[in-house]
Amino acid sequence: MPNAPQTDEGWYVLHDFRSIDWDAWRDAPERERQLAVDEGVTYLEDHEAVADADEGASAVFSVLGHKADLLVVHFRPTLDALSTAERRFEQTALAAVTEQPTSYVSVTEVSGYVSDDWFEGNKDDIDTGLRRYIEGKLKPDIPDDEYVSFYPMSKRRGEQDNWYDLSFEERAELMSGHGEVGKEYAGKIKQVIASSVGFDDHEWGVTLFSDDPAHIKDIVYEMRFDEASSRYGEFGDFYVGRRFPPSDLGAYLDG
Amino acid sequence: MPNAPQTDEGWYVLHDFRSIDWDAWRDAPERERQLAVDEGVTYLEDHEAVADADEGASAVFSVLGHKADLLVVHFRPTLDALSTAERRFEQTALAAVTEQPTSYVSVTEVSGYVSDDWFEGNKDDIDTGLRRYIEGKLKPDIPDDEYVSFYPMSKRRGEQDNWYDLSFEERAELMSGHGEVGKEYAGKIKQVIASSVGFDDHEWGVTLFSDDPAHIKDIVYEMRFDEASSRYGEFGDFYVGRRFPPSDLGAYLDG
Amino acid sequence: MPNAPQTDEGWYVLHDFRSIDWDAWRDAPERERQLAVDEGVTYLEDHEAVADADEGASAVFSVLGHKADLLVVHFRPTLDALSTAERRFEQTALAAVTEQPTSYVSVTEVSGYVSDDWFEGNKDDIDTGLRRYIEGKLKPDIPDDEYVSFYPMSKRRGEQDNWYDLSFEERAELMSGHGEVGKEYAGKIKQVIASSVGFDDHEWGVTLFSDDPAHIKDIVYEMRFDEASSRYGEFGDFYVGRRFPPSDLGAYLDG
Amino acid sequence: MPNAPQTDEGWYVLHDFRSIDWDAWRDAPERERQLAVDEGVTYLEDHEAVADADEGASAVFSVLGHKADLLVVHFRPTLDALSTAERRFEQTALAAVTEQPTSYVSVTEVSGYVSDDWFEGNKDDIDTGLRRYIEGKLKPDIPDDEYVSFYPMSKRRGEQDNWYDLSFEERAELMSGHGEVGKEYAGKIKQVIASSVGFDDHEWGVTLFSDDPAHIKDIVYEMRFDEASSRYGEFGDFYVGRRFPPSDLGAYLDG
Amino acid sequence: MPNAPQTDEGWYVLHDFRSIDWDAWRDAPERERQLAVDEGVTYLEDHEAVADADEGASAVFSVLGHKADLLVVHFRPTLDALSTAERRFEQTALAAVTEQPTSYVSVTEVSGYVSDDWFEGNKDDIDTGLRRYIEGKLKPDIPDDEYVSFYPMSKRRGEQDNWYDLSFEERAELMSGHGEVGKEYAGKIKQVIASSVGFDDHEWGVTLFSDDPAHIKDIVYEMRFDEASSRYGEFGDFYVGRRFPPSDLGAYLDG
């Protein structure tokens, strides 16, 4: 049996997608609309300030197209905190004009493909740069005012191309080549990789941030030619949007 | 024709997933909310106490994400008792604020892959340790206050990788290797395997319990590299949540 | 081109699945509930008595899980009689508290795989035992008080495993092996096979009856190792339930 | 690159499926029901009389099972006339008690597989019999009082069995064998083949008519053994029903 | 790792599909219908005039069948402008009688397959004809009064036929052959290709325009025999319709 890579986990993640019920929004009296905006802004600001937990991060994004209108991303130290955040939203007047068409549950992860040192040595001896790099992956910041792309993915278990049949060394080499493409986009793209094995329908959730949506297209397209993706990647639905400050919620809803 | 393994069945199982209709919940007057909580708690407590049958077990779990909010699991000696439990729920005031987005029907099972002795000898001569192990699989306890992961699965019948074309010996060896991975998680993970062949859309339902969701991710990920999964496993949707005592239902609904 | 087997058709079949709209049921005043039960019982009793046609059979089953609550099966000499039975249901007060989530249309069939004699000789010269066997397949009885499993299936047309590319002799041999497994379950399982080629989304609908649901699991599981299934069977969704007398409808709805 | 066959197009086709909203029908006052029937009959009679275009044909069919209750088929010289027919239906009181669960858009077609002469010579020199045959395919009659089966299909582009990789000659030979099966059903089955390439989700829509539904089953089953289907056919959902005169609409709705 | 082609991006594109809620339309009082038409016409005219941005293009199309009734296409320099256009629609009275069943997000693109010169030289030295050709692809006009076909597509990553495993030269040659077919339809078909990699569920969205829907069928069918499609194309759903001037919206809704 091929070896699974070692992994360390950081924050749990909920991608909570919401659709505006525009009929309800249009029909609501001004007072209800204002309440929806007020409670929505308070909810989002409290969660961005992580008022509900010791640490974590949250952000709200607009989403294009029919699949959703809003994406609220929560990073928290426990699944329980995510469950609370999801249910608290339902207690707001904003929830009355939204539905939850989809969502994704995962946990940030670093693996032995990324760094042998992290797993093999004494973690106190680890180089500061590497430590910060790893901690940035386990407890990521969410950049302001940037475009976002989210998609779930799995590794193929085809009858010929079967990722889980490859040796650790083969997989590590493929992941390393994959990482090389990522490095070309340093400064242009920030990515968060989180495992959903045992939690949700694909194996990972990928969240990309950039100040230019064309960079998002370019990195995903270029990586598609990389063997780790071309032969072994299987992708779910893609969502694209842009972060906005909670205080802009009213303007967003007013078109 | 390759031999099917011998099997023994224990309790029938219903995984009854429920979504809260949050709009109905928010709009309900306080009196109706209280009634929903009271009747919900009574239903759940009566079923956890197995007041409706000679033996069995039930539990309620919160579920993360859009696919469901609650999971009620019932183990009972007959399909009829499951049918009654499912319909009784609909008679409660809690049902008025829930929908049933999905469910799963199965029966706990031990097979000849697990133990030759159980099937081949006189069951009265069976070693006490083995007997308890087998009975624990057929009539499982549900651990308190732990995280749960549920997913249905089937064995692949691909044009090259076809589980049902393998000889009994090949399958037994693959299952044995699979079991070895499981043993590494003894004390961390409790699993219930139940057959849904002829009853539901996949061939088995797998329910994992642990006090740390990272253990759930780790065992599913590690097993994915095992040939029984990597070449022969096909997985349905995954659900993750946490058990709570029925008396916490009101707090759950209030966010 | 490989030869298609000869076939004879018997009764047309409608598997009419219904979900209870439990919110409507709970909210209905007692008078309306009573009317729903009364008209439902009358509809079911009239159809079980085949008051609407020269011959046929009907029965009602409870169904477990979210996919349906009731299954009404109708066998009739014509598609027209099935269409009438389906629409008559909609005229009852019971229909007001149900929806129709799915259904299946087929026709009972015997084929040249089962019996050369039936197709090759003069049917008047056929042995009485065989005649009864064939007629039991074309015009089946529905056993009282038994568990039911229904699933649609097709034969695979894969790029390597292609049923329709096999010669008649190869297919007949595979079907014969498949029949051998069936014979082991004589007295435990009664099965009805009906073709839906040109009528519905799979090629056949299979209905199994037994007084023990474990027999249903066992026969489907054992047959899955048979080459006719392991290499050539493709299965749709599975439904499991239990027959009840129409007079129990009120008790069923009351939980 | 293999040659595409030459094609000629005839009438555009809309298969407009409708489900009865039985709850709305039952709840409607008698006056509204009568209006729904009256306006429905007028709509159907006007369209069967092709009062809206220079030429064409329309018909209404009952449909079995949950996928639809009615199928209205329109053949018209332009897509615009189909669009108008579809929207005119929505202006009737019948539309208030129906929904449109599915539909299919296509155009009747003859291809170079069917007749070289038609495409290669001067069309004025064409034999009258062939001309009538071709024109019957491009501008088909809809037979009275017959059963109908509709299904969409595509040609497989598999990694081994790839229709579009075959030479014209190979495809022509396969289509010719396919046609031979069809000829055995002359007088029993009338078929309309219409291309939906670029218009709808499969490549063709097939509509079969017969006075005996068993003939429909038989031809589809027999053709499935023909290589053009067994290796290269991919089928969508199947719908089965029966034509009725518009004046029977009220009786249909009354069960 | 095979090289990804160089790409340049032009306008972002939203295909915004809308279904008419015909029940709401029929039930609306005349005053509300008129308001829906007035605000709908104003919205469409303002967007066709690109009153909301420096540059771009918009158009409205009728759509046949159940998948949608209207398609509003917006080309704009930024994703933000598309997001605003999508939300502005929801502020109109027309939105009250529509739903949004689907949509597609992409960006117009030219790639190194199409023109080496564009990417390799100094863009100021580029031949005027080529420059206009490229700019027509990046900032396309929408032809008046023509039929439209839209479909999303991806390149296959099969275990044998894997586009992303081919060398740049192989892909360029296949794309060139594909382009040859396109040239045969010069003057008959105008096509817009836009990348949705990282933005939506397929890799490209294709929009075809023609004054004859048979040309649309012909080009898609003929291209299907081209190796770039036959072995490497994977297609999503197809939508067909026709452009109309915003002032015809009322006539459209009145059937």
Catalytic annotation, pick one of A12, A104, A113, A151: A151
Residue C122 has pLDDT above 80, yes or no: no
Average pLDDT over residues C170-195: 94
pLDDT score, position C159: 95
Q: Is E28 on the interface with A (CB under 8 A)?
A: no
pLDDT score, position B122: 74
D230-239 as b/e: b if 16+ CB within 10 A: bbbbbbbebb
Q: Is D191 on the interface with E (CB under 8 A)?
A: no
* Nearest CA-CA distance, residue A93 and chain B, Å: 9
pLDDT score, position A119: 85
Tens digits of residue pLDDT in D5-56:
999 999 999 999 999 999 999 999 999 999 999 999 999 999 999 998 999 9
Interface contacts (C, D; CB < 8 Å): 113
Q: Do D199 and E214 touch (CB under 8 A)?
A: no
* Nearest CA-CA distance, residue B187 and chain C, Å: 31
Tens digits of residue pLDDT in C222-250:
999 999 999 999 999 999 999 999 999 99
pLDDT band at C169 (very low <50, low <70, confident <90, very high): very high
Percent of chain E clearing pLDDT 70 (strictly above): 100
Average pLDDT over residues C3-24: 96
Averaged pLDDT of chain E? 95
Catalytic (active site) residue E133: no
Q: Is A85 on the interface with B (CB under 8 A)?
A: no
C-alpha to C-alpha distance for D171 and D158, rounded to whole angstroms? 15
* Nearest CA-CA distance, residue C251 and chain D, Å: 24
pLDDT score, position E143: 94
Locate the chain B residue with the closest alpha carbon to A5: B222
Residue A117 has pLDDT above 80, yes or no: no
C-alpha to C-alpha distance for B142 and B74, rounded to whole angstroms? 10
D120 vs C104, D3, D194, E61, E184, CA distance in Å?
Answer: 46, 15, 22, 37, 20
Tens digits of residue pLDDT in E76-90:
999 999 999 999 999
Residue with tokens 């290269």: D232
pLDDT band at C13 (very low <50, low <70, confident <90, very high): very high
pLDDT band at C116 (very low <50, low <70, confident <90, very high): confident
pLDDT score, position E124: 75
Residue B121 has pLDDT above 80, yes or no: no
Q: Is D189 on the interface with C (CB under 8 A)?
A: no
Q: Do B225 and A200 touch (CB under 8 A)?
A: no
E5 vs A132, A221, E111, E120, CA distance in Å?
Answer: 35, 9, 6, 12
Averaged pLDDT of chain A? 95
Interface contacts (D, E; CB < 8 Å): 113
The fold of A1-255 is Alpha-Beta Plaits (3.30.70)
Q: Do A200 and B238 touch (CB under 8 A)?
A: yes
For E145: left if phi > 0, alpha if psi spans -120 to 50, otherwise beta; the answer is left
pLDDT score, position D116: 72
- Chains near E, with 3+ CB pairs < 8 A? A, D
D21 vs D85, D252, E26, E96, E252, CA distance in Å?
Answer: 21, 14, 16, 22, 25
Cβ-in-10-Å burial (0-12, 13-18, 19+) of A88 comes to middle
Q: Is B87 on the interface with C (CB under 8 A)?
A: yes
Chains C and E, touching by 3 or more CB pairs within 8 angstroms: no
Task: For this complex, say whether ipTM is above 0.90.
Answer: yes
pLDDT score, position A141: 95
Catalytic residue positions of D? 151
- Which residues of chain C lie closer than 8 angstroms to D173, CB-CB? none
C-alpha to C-alpha distance for C168 and C3, rounded to whole angstroms? 6
D residues 96-125 lying closer than 8 A (beta carbon) to C:
none
Residue C121 has pLDDT above 80, yes or no: no
Averaged pLDDT of chain D? 95
Q: Do E201 and A238 touch (CB under 8 A)?
A: yes
C-alpha to C-alpha distance for C139 and D23, rounded to whole angstroms? 34
According to DSSP, residue D20 is labeled E
Residue A114 has pLDDT above 80, yes or no: no
* Least reliable range by pLDDT among A176-180, B17-21, C67-71: A176-180
Q: Do A9 and B217 touch (CB under 8 A)?
A: yes
* Least reliable range by pLDDT among B118-122, B149-153, D43-47, D148-152: B118-122
B164-180 as b/e: b if 16+ CB within 10 A: bbbeeeebbebbeebee
Locate the chain D residue with the closest alpha carbon to C168: D225
Q: Is E224 on the interface with D (CB under 8 A)?
A: yes
Cβ-in-10-Å burial (0-12, 13-18, 19+) of D129 comes to exposed
Q: Is C4 on the interface with D (CB under 8 A)?
A: yes
Q: Do D91 and E218 touch (CB under 8 A)?
A: no
pLDDT score, position B65: 98
Q: Is D203 on the interface with C (CB under 8 A)?
A: no
Give CA torsion, residues A168, A170, A176, A180, to 10 deg: -160
pLDDT score, position A123: 74
C-alpha to C-alpha distance for E35 and E23, rounded to whole angstroms? 17
Extract the tokens encoding A109. 């992860």
- Which residues of chain B lie closer than 8 angstroms to A17, CB-CB? 66
Q: Is C80 on the interface with D (CB under 8 A)?
A: yes
Average pLDDT over residues D80-108: 98
pLDDT score, position D124: 75
Average pLDDT over residues C11-38: 97
pLDDT score, position D115: 72
Tens digits of residue pLDDT in E171-228:
999 999 889 999 999 999 999 999 999 999 999 999 999 999 999 999 999 999 999 9
| Cβ atoms of residues E63 and E71 within 8 Å | yes
Q: Which residues contact A70 (CB under 8 A, 6 or more apart)?
A: A17, A18, A19, A20, A60, A61, A62, A63, A98
Residue C58 has pLDDT above 90, yes or no: yes
Averaged pLDDT of chain C? 95
Q: Do B1 and C252 touch (CB under 8 A)?
A: no
Tens digits of residue pLDDT in D117-139:
788 777 777 888 888 999 999 99
| Cβ atoms of residues E181 and D2 within 8 Å | no
Give CA torsion, residues C111, C112, C116, C118, to 10 deg: 30
pLDDT score, position C1: 80
Higher pLDDT, E228 or B118: E228
C-alpha to C-alpha distance for C232 and C238, rounded to whole angstroms? 18
Locate the chain E residue with the closest alpha carbon to D195: E217
E92-109 as b/e: b if 16+ CB within 10 A: bbbbbbbbbebbbbbbbb
pLDDT score, position E42: 98
